[in-house]
Chains A and B, each alone.
Chain A
Amino acid sequence: MPKQEVTIHDSSLVSVPAGWEEKIAHFLLTRSPLGSLVRWVAGIKASVHAKLLASFLLVTALFMGMGVMSLQTITKMASQGQLLDEVHERVHWSQEIQHALALQMNFTAMALLLKNDSTVEHILRENNRFNNTLARLEKAAQPEEVQLIQRIRVAQQEALTTVADIANLVRDGRVDDAMRLQLSKEYPLSLQIEGLVNQLVQREREKMGQLRASVAAANKNTLVLMASSAAVLILLALLLGFVTSWSFILPVQEAHGFLGEVAKGNFAATINVPNRDEFGALADRMNQMSQELQRLYDSQHRNSQELQRLNDQLQQASKAKSNFLANMSHELRTPMNAILGFVEMALDEIYGEVPSHLKEPLTDIQTNGKHLLRLINDVLDLSKIEAGRMELVLAEYSVQDVVETVRSSLQSLALEKGLGFVAAAEDDIPLAFGDGRRIAQCLTNLVGNAVKFSKRGRVAVWVEQQGDNLVYRVSDTGIGIPKEELENIFAEFQQVDTAITREYSGTGLGLNITKKFVEMHGGRIWVESELGQGSTFSFSIPLRMNHGGVA
């Protein structure tokens, strides 16, 4: 795999956005200063817990500030209401003064009309009411009104004095004088007082109007201020939430992309986040992980290359071994050819008549030479099988021919040992398909063993067709095989009890080779035996092998 450096830069912090919210977030992060703010927050050296706590506390503090502001506003509005009430009260009092004045005038006129002073009591009472109210008003009055009030009081004092004079005149029966005084002095005074009181009422009314307007304006301002500060606070809270959450989301997205790269096998990928919190630590760990993975990958890659190299070497060695075997096979056969050839020619008396005492040693040379050749063939066959270079030569063959080959090569040996020998096949077996020569070799091996391990009795070969299979059977009356040895009998270089077999000699290759050839034909081999009674070796192979070979 080509090494590929993938570093995800800050500018491409956000992976491909999916939903519209993410699109907005992506836009804000890349096109506004929010991106650098987010990176700044990420870069703060504090734990995620501390950052979250801080941002929640900040939002809480902002809303608490808003609460304090509202409380202040409510208090201010309450005090303004009180002021308004006061002004209202003053207006009320001024009206009461007007009323008292009017009554005072009225009672004075009544005294004149009734020509007695019984109404003076009423006048005094109204005068008291007037004075009391005026005093209350003066107490609550603004400095500019105090002057007006004092002017009213002075006029009232004068009016009262005049009323007292009028009352005296009435009591003295000088009603005309009283009337004159009333008209000339008391009436203008009353008018003056009325004018002043009206002025006062007017002023208080104006003040009330002003106050009302200012309260309305203040209320409107407060509303605007509250609304805008609430909006600002909400925006601030949102901003805080956005910045805080994205300072966590970005490294997670980054990690997502990074892990995707790693999962794809790009161990050279690195993750780069500005965070100096748990996410930063996590990113550091991830980088360590990918480095370690890269290191493992590299070392594994090197190892596999080394293995590949070793495998190539092994294959070359194996090929060399096979070539060596092929050469050796020929090299061994060449002298064997000469040995067996010369002996045969001598026995065929090509060199002249063979003296009778030399016939036996020549025959012995021939027998042992042939035996040696068989051993050489076995070793070479097995080597080829082990190297996986043994190939069957598939063709049609006659089972009768196979049996005949075995009979011709081993019957004489059996008869020489004084053994009975029977070899036959079912009559109607059709032509078989396989490697006839190898099958003959297998059967020869089994029969050879049977003859070798039997001292008396007989060796029998029987071939029959069972469905699509051919079953070859070789039974003997030999030494038999112990039960515990039956499993191992076909294993490589395995021979039953070395002490027994030493007497019979052999390499132990024959059964193994036979098993391999049978299996190459897609068949199986088995043995039934009883110690001292003899053995029956059987193998079953398909009558006709598939051309494509057998599993």
Chain B
Amino acid sequence: MSGKTVLYVEDNEFNLKMVRQLLARTSYRLIEATDGELGVATALKEVPDLILMDIQLPKMSGLDATRRLRADPKTATVPIIVITSFALSGDDEKAKDAGATAYMAKPYSPRELLQMIRKLLPEQ
């Protein structure tokens, strides 16, 4: 089973665990990074099929990381879902401006997140 690769850049271990468990029963292969710089490095190295990017990350913000990836031809077209904070109005706009394909407000429903991933990256 050579599933499509999803990179989740997130520093909270429980959220990582949750998505890991969410995708465990799907064909997606999850790779993880715990800060913005690592996220960019991993993405450029592995070139995943889809990236879940938390907006607030250590070392480099999710928005900066998104901009970096969009600037690199290897990851310029990879779909990126930015996880935003509902209360901070304007985050959605900033995410779009940085080059996000879609955004999902935190806290998100795992069910809805999976629907969005499937929509952007069909499982086959």
Contacts and interface: CB of A to CB of B under 8 A. Distances in A.
B51 to A, nearest CB: 18
Given A348-B111, A393-B89, A393-B90, A334 B21 contact: no
Contact of A344 (B86, B90, B111): B111
Nearest to B13: A338
A381 B87 contact: yes
A334 B88 contact: no
A334 B21 CA distance: 17
Contacts of B25: 350
Interface of A is mostly: helix
A166 to B, nearest CB: 165
A327 B85 CA distance: 10
Given A330-B56, A334-B106, A341 B89 contact: no
| Number of chain B interface residues as a range | 20 to 34
Nearest to A339: B107
A413 interface: no
Contacts of B69: none
A342 B13 CA distance: 13
B18 interface: yes
A391 interface: yes
Given A340-B107, A341-B109, A333 B85 contact: yes
A326 B88 contact: yes
A118 interface: no
Contacts of A344: 109-111
Contact of A337 (B15, B21, B89, B92): B15
Contact of A334 (B12, B22, B89): B12
B15 A341 contact: yes
- Point out which of B17, B56, B89 has the most chain A C-beta atoms below 10 A from its C-beta: B89
B116 to A, nearest CB: 14
B15 A334 contact: yes
Interface string A341-368: 1101100101100000000000000000
B110 A330 contact: no
A384 interface: yes
Contact of A340 (B12, B92, B109): B109
A390 B89 contact: yes
Nearest to A393: B89
B55 interface: yes
22 contacts: A326-B85, A326-B88, A330-B56, A333-B107, A334-B12, A336-B107, A337-B15, A337-B18, A337-B106, A337-B108, A338-B12, A341-B15, A341-B108, A341-B109, A342-B18, A344-B111, A348-B110, A348-B111, A350-B22, A373-B107, A380-B87, A392-B89
Interface of A: 326-327, 329-330, 333-338, 340-342, 344-345, 348, 350-351, 373, 377, 380-381, 384, 390-393, 435
The list of the 6 closest CB pairs from A to B, nearest first, reads A337-B107, A338-B14, A329-B87, A380-B87, A341-B18, A330-B56
Interface of B: 12, 14-15, 17-18, 21-22, 25, 55-56, 85-90, 92-93, 106-111
